[in-house]
Protein backbone atom coordinates (compact mmCIF):
# COMPACT_ATOMS: atom_id res chain seq x y z
CA UNK A 1 0.00 0.00 0.00
CA UNK A 2 1.35 3.37 -0.86
CA UNK A 3 1.21 6.49 1.29
CA UNK A 4 -1.57 8.06 -0.72
CA UNK A 5 -3.86 5.05 -0.36
CA UNK A 6 -3.05 4.90 3.33
CA UNK A 7 -4.01 8.58 3.79
CA UNK A 8 -7.27 8.08 1.88
CA UNK A 9 -8.14 5.14 4.12
CA UNK A 10 -7.25 7.18 7.24
CA UNK A 11 -9.36 10.09 6.01
CA UNK A 12 -12.34 7.82 5.26
CA UNK A 13 -12.01 6.14 8.64
CA UNK A 14 -11.75 9.52 10.44
CA UNK A 15 -14.73 10.81 8.50
CA UNK A 16 -16.77 7.72 9.36
CA UNK A 17 -15.90 7.92 13.07
CA UNK A 18 -16.68 11.65 13.13
CA UNK A 19 -19.97 11.03 11.38
CA UNK A 20 -20.93 8.30 13.85
CA UNK A 21 -20.01 10.47 16.84
CA UNK A 22 -22.03 13.36 15.40
CA UNK A 23 -24.99 11.04 14.80
CA UNK A 24 -24.89 9.69 18.35
CA UNK A 25 -24.58 13.16 19.89
CA UNK A 26 -27.42 14.43 17.73
CA UNK A 27 -29.65 11.50 18.70
CA UNK A 28 -28.82 11.75 22.41
CA UNK A 29 -29.64 15.45 22.34
CA UNK A 30 -32.95 14.82 20.62
CA UNK A 31 -34.00 11.71 22.57
CA UNK A 32 -35.64 13.48 25.58
CA UNK A 33 -37.75 15.64 23.27
CA UNK A 34 -38.79 12.59 21.25
CA UNK A 35 -39.84 10.77 24.42
CA UNK A 36 -41.82 13.75 25.70
CA UNK A 37 -43.69 14.38 22.45
CA UNK A 38 -44.42 10.67 21.99
CA UNK A 39 -45.83 10.45 25.55
CA UNK A 40 -48.00 13.53 24.90
CA UNK A 41 -49.29 12.04 21.64
CA UNK A 42 -50.13 8.75 23.36
CA UNK A 43 -51.93 10.61 26.17
CA UNK A 44 -53.98 12.54 23.60
CA UNK A 45 -54.81 9.28 21.81
CA UNK A 46 -55.94 7.69 25.08
CA UNK A 47 -58.11 10.74 25.78
CA UNK A 48 -59.53 10.50 22.26
CA UNK A 49 -60.45 6.83 22.81
CA UNK A 50 -62.10 7.61 26.17
CA UNK A 51 -64.13 10.45 24.60
CA UNK A 52 -65.21 8.18 21.73
CA UNK A 53 -66.38 5.55 24.23
CA UNK A 54 -68.30 8.17 26.22
CA UNK A 55 -70.02 9.43 23.07
CA UNK A 56 -70.74 5.86 21.98
CA UNK A 57 -72.70 5.37 25.21
CA UNK A 58 -74.96 8.31 24.24
CA UNK A 59 -75.68 7.22 20.67
CA UNK A 60 -78.38 4.58 21.35
CA UNK A 61 -80.42 7.18 23.27
CA UNK A 62 -79.93 9.72 20.49
CA UNK A 63 -81.04 7.28 17.80
CA UNK A 64 -84.12 6.26 19.80
CA UNK A 65 -85.07 9.90 20.26
CA UNK A 66 -84.67 10.57 16.52
CA UNK A 67 -86.78 7.49 15.67
CA UNK A 68 -89.34 8.53 18.30
CA UNK A 69 -89.79 11.92 16.69
CA UNK A 70 -89.20 10.96 13.06
CA UNK A 71 -90.02 7.24 12.58
CA UNK A 72 -88.91 7.35 8.92
CA UNK A 73 -85.26 7.84 9.92
CA UNK A 74 -84.52 4.24 10.91
CA UNK A 75 -81.87 3.79 8.18
CA UNK A 76 -79.92 6.78 9.49
CA UNK A 77 -80.20 5.41 13.02
CA UNK A 78 -79.05 1.98 11.84
CA UNK A 79 -75.99 3.45 10.07
CA UNK A 80 -75.09 5.40 13.20
CA UNK A 81 -75.43 2.34 15.43
CA UNK A 82 -73.47 0.17 12.97
CA UNK A 83 -70.57 2.66 12.98
CA UNK A 84 -70.79 2.72 16.79
CA UNK A 85 -70.66 -1.08 16.88
CA UNK A 86 -67.57 -1.12 14.66
CA UNK A 87 -65.78 1.43 16.84
CA UNK A 88 -66.55 -0.69 19.92
CA UNK A 89 -65.34 -3.96 18.35
CA UNK A 90 -62.07 -2.91 16.78
CA UNK A 91 -58.78 -2.15 18.46
CA UNK A 92 -57.07 -1.10 15.23
CA UNK A 93 -56.53 2.70 15.35
CA UNK A 94 -57.33 3.12 11.65
CA UNK A 95 -60.54 1.13 12.09
CA UNK A 96 -61.55 3.19 15.11
CA UNK A 97 -60.92 6.43 13.24
CA UNK A 98 -62.86 5.18 10.19
CA UNK A 99 -65.82 4.31 12.45
CA UNK A 100 -65.57 7.69 14.19
CA UNK A 101 -65.61 9.38 10.77
CA UNK A 102 -68.74 7.37 9.83
CA UNK A 103 -70.37 8.45 13.10
CA UNK A 104 -69.44 12.06 12.32
CA UNK A 105 -71.09 11.83 8.89
CA UNK A 106 -74.25 10.41 10.44
CA UNK A 107 -74.25 13.14 13.09
CA UNK A 108 -73.99 15.77 10.36
CA UNK A 109 -77.07 14.20 8.75
CA UNK A 110 -78.89 14.29 12.10
CA UNK A 111 -77.88 17.92 12.52
CA UNK A 112 -79.29 18.70 9.06
CA UNK A 113 -82.45 16.78 9.95
CA UNK A 114 -82.86 18.85 13.13
CA UNK A 115 -82.65 22.02 11.04
CA UNK A 116 -85.22 20.88 8.49
CA UNK A 117 -87.74 19.22 10.81
CA UNK A 118 -89.50 21.84 12.90
CA UNK A 119 -89.73 20.84 16.52
CA UNK A 120 -87.05 18.14 16.54
CA UNK A 121 -84.57 20.41 18.27
CA UNK A 122 -87.27 21.18 20.88
CA UNK A 123 -88.23 17.52 21.41
CA UNK A 124 -86.91 16.95 24.98
CA UNK A 125 -85.39 13.46 24.55
CA UNK A 126 -83.59 14.55 21.38
CA UNK A 127 -82.45 17.92 22.76
CA UNK A 128 -81.02 16.30 25.89
CA UNK A 129 -79.01 13.67 24.03
CA UNK A 130 -78.04 16.02 21.22
CA UNK A 131 -76.43 18.55 23.59
CA UNK A 132 -74.38 15.81 25.20
CA UNK A 133 -73.37 14.28 21.86
CA UNK A 134 -72.36 17.67 20.43
CA UNK A 135 -70.26 18.40 23.54
CA UNK A 136 -68.50 15.03 23.24
CA UNK A 137 -68.06 15.50 19.51
CA UNK A 138 -66.27 18.80 20.07
CA UNK A 139 -64.11 17.16 22.73
CA UNK A 140 -63.25 14.33 20.33
CA UNK A 141 -62.41 16.82 17.60
CA UNK A 142 -60.18 18.84 19.94
CA UNK A 143 -58.34 15.75 21.21
CA UNK A 144 -57.90 14.46 17.67
CA UNK A 145 -56.53 17.81 16.52
CA UNK A 146 -54.08 17.98 19.43
CA UNK A 147 -53.02 14.38 18.81
CA UNK A 148 -52.43 15.12 15.12
CA UNK A 149 -50.37 18.23 15.99
CA UNK A 150 -48.21 16.23 18.40
CA UNK A 151 -47.78 13.43 15.85
CA UNK A 152 -46.74 15.83 13.11
CA UNK A 153 -44.22 17.49 15.43
CA UNK A 154 -42.91 14.10 16.57
CA UNK A 155 -42.58 12.85 12.99
CA UNK A 156 -40.76 16.07 12.00
CA UNK A 157 -38.30 15.47 14.87
CA UNK A 158 -37.61 11.97 13.53
CA UNK A 159 -36.85 13.08 9.99
CA UNK A 160 -33.59 15.08 10.10
CA UNK A 161 -30.36 13.46 9.12
CA UNK A 162 -28.18 12.09 10.84
CA UNK A 163 -30.25 11.29 13.96
CA UNK A 164 -32.83 9.50 11.81
CA UNK A 165 -30.23 6.74 11.41
CA UNK A 166 -30.58 5.88 15.11
CA UNK A 167 -34.18 6.75 15.96
CA UNK A 168 -35.75 3.57 14.56
CA UNK A 169 -33.07 1.42 16.16
CA UNK A 170 -34.13 2.80 19.56
CA UNK A 171 -37.88 2.38 18.99
CA UNK A 172 -38.73 5.85 17.75
CA UNK A 173 -40.84 5.12 14.71
CA UNK A 174 -43.25 7.48 12.93
CA UNK A 175 -46.79 7.66 14.27
CA UNK A 176 -49.91 7.82 12.09
CA UNK A 177 -52.01 10.95 12.08
CA UNK A 178 -55.72 11.01 11.37
CA UNK A 179 -57.02 14.22 9.77
CA UNK A 180 -60.51 15.26 10.86
CA UNK A 181 -63.50 15.14 8.51
CA UNK A 182 -66.49 17.49 8.50
CA UNK A 183 -67.82 17.75 12.06
CA UNK A 184 -71.01 18.70 13.79
CA UNK A 185 -71.29 22.43 14.33
CA UNK A 186 -72.28 23.96 17.62
CA UNK A 187 -76.06 24.02 17.64
CA UNK A 188 -77.95 26.19 20.10
CA UNK A 189 -80.52 23.90 21.71
CA UNK A 190 -82.21 25.89 24.46
Mean pLDDT value of segment 11-28: 75
Which conformational region is residue 166 in: left (phi greater than 0), alpha (psi within -120 to 50 degrees), or beta?
A: alpha
pLDDT for residue 1: 65
Topology of 3-170 in CATH?
A: de novo design (two linked rop proteins) (1.20.1440)
Planar angle of CA 8, 15, 9, nearest 5 degrees: 20
pLDDT digits (tens, 9 = 90+) for 62-108: 888 888 887 777 788 888 888 888 888 888 898 999 999 999 998 99
pLDDT band at 56 (very low <50, low <70, confident <90, very high): very high
Alpha-carbon span 165 to 173, nearest angstrom:
11
Contact 58, 129 (CB under 8 A): yes
Number of other CB atoms surrounding residue 5 within 10 Å:
9
In whole angstroms, give the CA distance from residue 99 to residue 101. 5
Please tell me what DSSP assigns to residue 174. P
Q: In this predicted model, what pLDDT tens digit does every residue of 122-154 receive, in sequence order?
A: 888 888 999 999 999 999 999 999 999 999 998
Cα 166 to Cα 163: distance, rounded to the nearest angstrom: 6
- Can you tell me the distance from the alpha carbon of 79 to that of 103, in angstroms, rounded to the nearest whole number? 8
Separation CA 66–CA 62 (nearest Å): 6
Rounded to two decimals, the pTM is: 0.77
Per DSSP, helices labelled H in 121-184 are 124-158, 164-167
What is the DSSP code string of 93-137? HHHHHHHHHHHHHHHHHHHHHHHHSTTGGGSHHHHHHHHHHHHHH
CB 125 within 8 A of CB 61: yes
> What count of residues does the chain have?
190
Amino acid sequence: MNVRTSRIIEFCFSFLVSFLVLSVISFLTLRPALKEVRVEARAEWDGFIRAVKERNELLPGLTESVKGFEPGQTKLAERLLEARSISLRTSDPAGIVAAVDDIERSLVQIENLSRTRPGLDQYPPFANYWRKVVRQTHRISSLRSTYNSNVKFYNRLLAPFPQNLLTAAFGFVPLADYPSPQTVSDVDLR
